[in-house]
A and B are shown apart, each in its own frame.
Chain A
Amino acid sequence: MEKRVTFSRWTIGILFAVPQLLLIFTFFYWPAGQAVYWSLTLQQPWGGGNIWVGLDNFRSILSSADYWNSITASLVFAGISTGLAMFIALVLAALTDRQLTGSRFYRVVLIWPYGIAAPALALAFRFILAPEAGFLAVVNRMWPGIWDPGLDGADAMASIIAAFSWKYVGYNFIFFLAAFQAIPRSLIEAAAMDGSGVIRRFWDIQFPLITPTIFFLLVINITESFQDSFGIVDIMTSGGPANATNLMVYKIYSDGFKGLDYSGAAAQSIILMLLIIVLTIFQFRFIERRVHYR
């Protein structure tokens, strides 16, 4: 879409865009380029510049078991938490959209979790799920030692998944509810006249009409699970036990800033960037075209 009426002094026009361009050049394009450069070079420990090593950084990362472990952990985390958060939000939004008494109240409250900072909710969940105090500790009273996120990798993974899903149920709920409410009432009423029940209407009318939202949220949830998980991991598990929750962004952080391996961290950043770019392109190209019912 273009404007028919515009202003002719285009030098002024460019000036308006300058602040933004300076910012994204300095804090986006330059660092992104820097990451590419670092990933292809190796910093000499005694200073004196970088030496060109080509794809060696990538080779050494891709042959490291730790890195593949981190990718697996990220994918498990992304898969389960996205599935959980989206499924629960979809059910709650569909039911809220039935507009029974009290639905206005749920519409307000179910959004709250998304406002909370990931590290704050992580600390809350760390307490709730702690093995020796809080609530899940009850399980340990009955069967001692069955739950311990500090020692058991699967338990730790379950804890961060619970915390992340809790926050993103609120997020997904907002979008699902908006999508449901955008469906014209007349469609649903017409279907009801034809004798279809609530469940039939859901599967045959509402669900197909919100598929664009589902796919949109799918991509957003997966990318957010790569990024927003950092605070949760850092507060709840610090990547442990035994790297069981060492997700990709956390590994970049610990390799780059604790291990001071800039080249390795940069190479990992590049891989993660590519992954996210592929997901985004997938969203724009594939999904937006296939799923279009209007």
Chain B
Amino acid sequence: MVERTPILNFVTHVILFLGFLMAVAPFVIVAIASSHNLKDVNDVPMPLLPGSDFWINIKTAWTTADLGPKLLNSFIMATGVAAGKVIISALTAFSIVYFRYPGRTFIFWLIFVTLMLPLEVRIVPTYAVVANVLSPYQAILDVTGLSWLIEKVSGVQVSLSLGLLNSYSGLILPLIATATGTFLYRQFFLTVPDELTEAARMDGAGALRFFIDILLPLSRNNMAALGTIMFLWAWNQYLWPLLITTDQSHATAVTELKQLIPNVGGIPEWNIAMAGTLIVMLPPLIVVVAMQRWFVRGLIATEK
């Protein structure tokens, strides 16, 4: 730095080191606790030298909470959300930036507003929609009198029904329905030089060609950043999967944590609970460590 400040430097090191301890301590404690046997983990204070029961606890947690299929579910959901976001946001941003059509500003605002209201605040009605995704369209048909008309003409009673509870699409689709990624792409598309578009058009490329062959390869960085953020965000979802997976078959790893909370009464099995926690928190941690650059970039760009 600019000048010599030995005392301040010392203080800086001390505080940063304390911060480091604070950030890492829970991870370490979880790891150590999951290696103890039932007696040691309940000692006060818990011994800080790792015990020898690590694999037994991991195995117990794995079978109690049935983590294998649940991790797979989490993975499918997170990948689905990340992929869906990356693709759909790119399409929308392309439409908003590269075309002039009536109502474009309106569409822009329509999408922009979704940034304001997170899923958590509108869970109750969203749940009702997911129970039958076609209910909005049924209601529109009913109100406009179209279903009456169809019934008169063809004799078929219109009742649209498609339930998405306990399905991957039910887990994934509502989580994609926000604007986060769209604006990331929009900002980027606006920086792509116009000359590139002109050159492509001169060479006879249409909109679709330009999008696939030029714009998408240029957005690789954005895709990586957005994909990383969305994967983590989806993996860490809790309330939504908890609601719509009434059946165990589609529960995710994060919602399964609830099964591991030790019962009141008896000696609490914290070692098992911590082993489960370790398994559930490991995949996102690996993603953060491996994709750090994209993670930070994505966070700052999406302001998520």
- Give residues in A with beta carbon < 8 Å to B: 1, 3-7, 9-17, 19-21, 23-32, 34-35, 38, 88, 91-92, 95-96, 98-100, 102-103, 106, 108-121, 123-128, 130, 132-135, 137-138, 140-141, 166, 169-171, 174-175, 178, 188-189, 192, 197-198, 216, 220, 223, 226-227, 230-231, 234-235, 249, 252-253, 256-257, 262, 265-266, 269, 272-273, 276-277, 280
Contacts and interface: CB of A to CB of B under 8 A. Distances in A.
A111 B2 CA distance: 27
16 contacts: A5-B197, A13-B207, A16-B91, A30-B129, A38-B125, A100-B13, A109-B23, A111-B292, A116-B285, A120-B257, A120-B277, A130-B270, A174-B296, A175-B299, A175-B300, A257-B243
Interface stretch (B39-47, B49-57, B217-225): B39-47
A269 B176 contact: no
Q: Which of B45, B122, B182, B260 has the most CB of A within 10 A?
A: B122
Contacts of A140: 44
A230 B285 contact: no
A126 B123 CA distance: 26
A24 B100 contact: no
B238 A124 contact: no
A112 B285 CA distance: 7
Interface in B119-164: 120-130, 133, 136
Contacts of B95: 13-17
B277 A123 contact: yes
A182 to B, nearest CB: 10
A135 B128 contact: no
A161 to B, nearest CB: 14
B136 A273 contact: no
A216 to B, nearest CB: 7
B96 interface: yes
Interface in B158-201: 173-174, 176-179, 182, 190, 194, 197-198, 201
B60 interface: no
B117 A253 contact: no
Contacts of A31: 122, 125-126, 128-129
B176 A121 contact: no
A16 to B, nearest CB: 4
Contacts of B114: 24, 28
Contact of B44 (A17, A23, A102, A137): A137
Contacts of A269: 121-125
A35 B97 CA distance: 32
Contact of A192 (B3, B19, B130): B3
Nearest to B89: A20
Interface in B208-224: 208, 210-211
A98 B46 contact: no
A137 B303 CA distance: 39
B86 interface: no
Given A6-B100, A112-B27, A234-B239, 14 more contacts: A5-B197, A5-B201, A9-B206, A10-B100, A17-B92, A26-B133, A31-B122, A102-B16, A106-B20, A123-B260, A124-B26, A134-B46, A174-B296, A234-B258
Contacts of A92: 15-16, 19
B129 A26 contact: yes
Contacts of A96: 16
Contacts of B1: 98-100
Contacts of B45: 134-135, 137-138
Given A106-B19, A116-B236, A133-B41, A124 B123 contact: no
B26 A7 contact: no
A280 B303 CA distance: 13
Given A14-B95, A127-B270, A266-B124, A111 B236 contact: no
Contacts of B9: 98, 100
Contact of A252 (B24, B123, B208, B285): B123
Contacts of A10: 99-101
A134 B295 contact: no
Given A13-B207, A100-B12, A130-B270, A235 B125 contact: no
Nearest to B228: A115
Q: Which of A5, A99, A111 has the most CB of B within 10 A?
A: A5
Contacts of A15: 95
B287 interface: yes
B69 interface: no
Contact of A117 (B24, B92, B280, B295): B280
Given A95-B15, A116-B284, A170 B23 contact: yes
A165 to B, nearest CB: 10
Given A10-B101, A216-B303, A135 B120 contact: no
B83 interface: no
Contacts of B13: 100, 102
Contact of B254 (A103, A119, A198, A223): A119
A163 to B, nearest CB: 9
Nearest to B120: A227
Given A120-B257, A230-B239, A132 B303 contact: no
Contact of B288 (A9, A115, A130, A256): A115
A10 B156 CA distance: 36
B294 interface: no
Given A7-B206, A116-B285, A121-B26, A227 B121 contact: yes
